[in-house]
Structure formats: C-alpha cells, structure tokens
C-alpha cells in the first residue's frame, strides 16, 4: 500500500487524536486512486456544511469518534457528541481546526448523537443548527431526533444552545438556505436512523419502521422545507414536503433507490434555478433536482457524485474564488464507515445548467 504525507494543520485547542503521523493511504483497498485528499487528519470529520463568512471559508462538520458499536440500520455506530469548526482562507490553504464549539452535555434537551449540522449568519450572530436525540425512549431504547439551534458571536464558537429544540422540528440533517430576498429556509429530514418514516402522519410513532415505509410502488418519503422566522430560531410555518418529480412530472417512488431521497438536503441557487441536492443513502449517490421555487417541486436531473469509499455520502456546495466547490467525505483515513474525513473538489456545470458528474476516484 502506498502512502502520502498531508500538509500541516493548525489546531485551536487540544487535538483529539493523531492519525498515523499524518501518513495516509494513497489508494483505496481496491487499488483506485482518490480524487482528493482529506482536509484534516488530526480528527475524523464528516457531513461538511461549508459557508463563506466575511471572506473566509468555515466548514461545520460532524465530529466522528471511535466506538466499538457495530454498524446497523439505526446508525448507532455514529456516536458523535460534539462539534468542531474548520476554517480556511481559501480552497487549498491551511486549515484551522477549532476547539469544541458545542457538546451534547451543553444541550439541556439532548441525550446523544449530534449528527450533521449546518450554520447561518444574520445581523452579527452565527447560528448553529444541529440534530440530536432527546431523552425519550423508543422501541430500540433510543431518543427521538429533533433539531436544535445554538448561537455565537464567533463563527467558530463556542455556541450556546437554546434550552429547547426548535418547535415543530423533527428528524435530522438541517440545512439553511437564505435567498436573495433575505428569507431563510430550512431543509431537513432523513429516513432509516433519521426517523423520517416515523413522522408520516404528523406525529412521532415510537414503534414505527426502522428503515422506510416499505411501499415501493408509492411516492417516496420526501425531505422537508420550512421558512424560518426573522429570529432564525423558529419556524414561520408548518414544514412542507420538498417533492422530487421524475421526467414525467410524477413523484419519485419509494422503490427507486437510485433516485429517491434518503438524507442530506442542501440547496443553492444558480442562474435563477434552485438546486435541491441530496443523498440516496443505501445506493450511495449524491443527486440533484431543480426548481423555480425554494419550496419545490423539484425535477430530478441526475447523479453528481458517484459512490465514495464508505457507506454515507453527505455534502455541501458553495461558490468562492469564482468557482463552485463540493465538500464531501469518505473513509480514506480509517476504512471504517463511522470514521470519516472531509474533502473538497471543484464542481462544474454544463452550458444548460446541468452538473458534470464527479467520480471520487481517478482512473
């Protein structure tokens, strides 16, 4: 196995672990060469939500931690309990790893598993949105995923959590998009461990399915979209379905695992079009659909990232330096599904606005 050395990373606070003295595999176990390299090797990171604040790039990832919990459909092996923010002046530049920005012990309502977060900025305040399980217990002895919010005057934190989750929130993977008119929308939801399938009728079914609705010939479960109030801490309305349509204008079906929504909503706007991007989960694609309204419906367009090494695919997309960039993660450092590393690569578009597909491996 070939190895390469990754450049130095600046640390704020104490490093949580050292990964093989920054020596990491140059190729995947099957011999393929990676398209890009991890942004940091001092901690494990995943689910990167990237933003440009005051000219600098900030990435809000999950902070993966080692655990002996085996992989399962509920995601118990993803035992993350805090957040640390990454900062860089430019793509390809040195990366600063911040200290703990928020720990589950600092969230009064939460019990465990602080999964994929996002962030936003408004009027001098930074907002960190995060999913976590509450202190209830379902048939598996696990809490209900709800979405919380924390605030700070510094983009790297520390953040102070609100005492209760956002009223009307549920499931996971919050992503906040602010449109050109200043209105902000949260997109959220995820099936399987994200429990979206248990909210079909508007209230939580603690004994519901652990995966999906098992209705392959019916419209698939959708992610949710909701407009935020001006305080950025509450919903202005009841969440709606972010419907994905096929080429015939019909909702994508539950059995269409290559195209249906699983988790990891992320929305951006380009050329007057809203791009609704998401992960297919068990088929490991990143997909996109487009629409003319932030609420959708969105018409399916295709895959834009082929499967990475590892089970999960969760991402963000930003524009900086005159280019578009895709932040994603794989398991290059560990080859373990629950210990991931964040990466970035350029995202390109065709003349008609379609996204050029990316292979995370170099041929």
Instruction: Give the residue numbers marked as catalytic.
Output: 47, 263
Q: Which two tokens mark 118?
A: 């996002």
Residue by residue, DSSP assigns 32-52 as PEESS--S-SSSEEEEEEEEE
Give the integer Cα–Cα distance in Å for 276 and 224: 11
**HSE of 40 in the Cβ direction (CA atoms, 13 Å)?**
31
DSSP lists the bridge partners of residue 232 as none
Q: Is 201 in contact with 144 (CB distance < 8 Å)?
A: no
What is the per-residue burial (b if ≥16 Cβ within 10 Å, else e) of 246-261?
eeeeebbbbebbebbb
- Edge-to-edge, what's the strand order for the sheet holding 298-305? 244-245, 298-305, 286-291, 273-279, 263-270
Residues 6+ apart with CB under 8 A from 294: 177, 179, 183, 185, 225, 267, 274
């Amino acid at each position: 196995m070939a190895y390469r050395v990754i450049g130095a990373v600046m640390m704020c606070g104490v490093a949580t672990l050292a990964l093989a003295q920054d020596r990491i595999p140059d190729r995947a176990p099957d011999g393929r060469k990676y398209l890009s390299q991890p942004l940091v090797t001092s901690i494990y990171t995943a689910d990167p939500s990237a933003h440009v604040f005051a000219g600098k790039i900030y990435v809000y990832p999950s902070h993966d931690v080692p655990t002996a919990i085996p992989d399962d459909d509920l995601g118990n092996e993803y035992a993350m309990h805090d957040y640390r923010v990454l900062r860089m002046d430019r793509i390809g530049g040195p990366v600063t790893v911040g200290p703990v920005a928020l720990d589950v012990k600092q969230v009064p309502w939460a019990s465990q598993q602080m999964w994929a977060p996002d962030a936003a900025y408004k009027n001098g305040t930074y907002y960190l949105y995060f999913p976590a399980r509450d202190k209830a217990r379902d048939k598996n002895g696990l809490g209900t995923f709800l979405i919380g919010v924390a605030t700070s005057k510094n983009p790297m934190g520390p953040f102070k959590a609100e005492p209760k989750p956002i009223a009307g929130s549920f499931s996971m993977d919050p992503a906040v998009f602010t449109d050109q008119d200043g209105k902000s929308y949260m997109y959220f939801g995820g099936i399987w461990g994200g429990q979206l399938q248990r909210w079909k009728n508007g209230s939580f079914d603690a004994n519901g399915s652990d995966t999906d609705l098992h209705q392959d010939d019916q419209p698939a479960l959708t992610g949710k979209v909701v407009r935020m109030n001006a305080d950025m801490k509450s919903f202005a309305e009841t969440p709606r379905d972010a419907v994905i349509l096929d080429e015939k204008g019909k909702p994508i079906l539950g059995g269409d695992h290559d195209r249906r929504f699983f988790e990891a909503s992320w929305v951006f706007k380009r050329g007057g079009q809203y791009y609704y991007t998401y992960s297919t989960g068990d088929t490991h694609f990143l997909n996109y659909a487009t629409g003319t309204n932030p609420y959708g419906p969105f018409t399916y367009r295709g895959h834009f990232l082929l499967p990475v090494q590892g089970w999960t695919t969760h991402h963000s997309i930003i524009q900086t330096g005159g280019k578009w960039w895709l932040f994603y993660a794989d398991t290059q450092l560990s080859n373990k599904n629950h210990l991931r590393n964040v990466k970035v690569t350029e995202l390109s578009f065709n003349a008609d606005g379609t996204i050029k597909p990316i292979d995370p491996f170099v041929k």
